[in-house]
Amino acid sequence: MITFEAVTKRYPDGTVAVDALDLEVPAGKTVVLVGPSGCGKTTTLRMTNRLVEPTEGRITIDGKDIREQNPARLRRGIGYVIQQTGLFPHRTVEDNIATVPVLNGWRRQKARDRARELLATVGLDPALARRYPYQLSGGQQQRVGVARALAADPPVLLMDEPFSAVDPVVRASLQEELLALQHDLQKTILFVTHDIEEAIKVGDLVALFRPHGKIAQFDTPERLLGDPVDDYVAGFVGFDRGIRRLSFFRSQGLSLSTGPLLSADATVAKAQAAGEPWILVTDGGKPRGWIPADSLAARKSDTPLSQLDAEPFGHSFTVGTDSLRAALDAAVLSPAGQAVGVDGNGQAVGVATFDQLRAAIQAAERAADADADGSDNSKKRAAQPGVQRAQSGAQP
Of residues 197, 111, 166, 186, the one with CA closest to residue 385: 186
* Rounded least distance, CB 103 to another protein, Å: 5
Binding-residue total with another protein (CB under 8 A): 28
Say whether residue 185 binds another protein (CB under 8 A): no
The residue from 73, 107, 110, 358 that contacts another protein (CB under 8 A) is: 73
- Binding-site string for another protein from residue 76 to residue 115, where x marks contact by CB under 8 A and - marks none: x-x-x-xxxxxxxxxxx------xx--x------------
Site string for another protein, 152-181 (x = CB under 8 A): ------x-----------------------
By the 8 A CB rule, do 142 and 85 touch? yes
Element (H, E) at 237: helix 231-237
DSSP 181-223: HHHHH--EEEEEES-HHHHHHH-SEEEEEETTTEEEEEE-HHH
**Which DSSP string corresponds to 280-333?**
EEEETTEEEEEEEGGGTTTS-TT-BGGGS--B----EEETTTSBHHHHHHHHHH
Which range in 70-78, 209-217, 255-263, 279-287 contacts another protein by CB under 8 A?
A: 70-78
- Of 9, 75, 187, 245, the one binding another protein (CB under 8 A) is 75
Say if residues 190 and 230 touch (Cβ distance below 8 Å).
no
Q: Closest separation between CB of residue 394 and another protein, Å?
A: 44
Closer CB to another protein, 164 or 303, in the complex: 164
Q: How far apart are the first and last CA of the chain?
A: 38
Q: How far is the CB of 57 from another protein (least distance, A)?
A: 21
User: Could you give the CA distance from residue 337 to residue 292 in angstroms, rounded to a whole number?
Assistant: 11
Binding range to another protein, per CB under 8 A, among 68-76, 175-183, 203-211, 275-283: 68-76
- Told to check if 49 binds another protein by CB under 8 A, we report yes
User: Would you say 74 or 181 has its CB closer to another protein?
Assistant: 74
Q: How far is the CB of 278 from another protein (least distance, A)?
A: 55
| Comparison of 21 and 81: residue with beta carbon closer to another protein | 81
Q: Which of residues 289-348 bind another protein (CB under 8 A)?
A: none
Binding part of the chain for another protein, among 130-138, 250-258, 338-346, 356-364 by CB under 8 A, reads 130-138
Range 255-280 burial, b when 16+ CB lie within 10 A, else e: ebeeebbbbbebbbebbeebebebbb
Which amino acid belongs to residue 328?
L
SS3 for 165-187 is: CCCHHHHHHHHHHHHHHHHHHCC
Site residues for another protein per CB under 8 A: 49, 51, 72-76, 78, 80, 82-92, 99-100, 103, 132-134, 148, 158
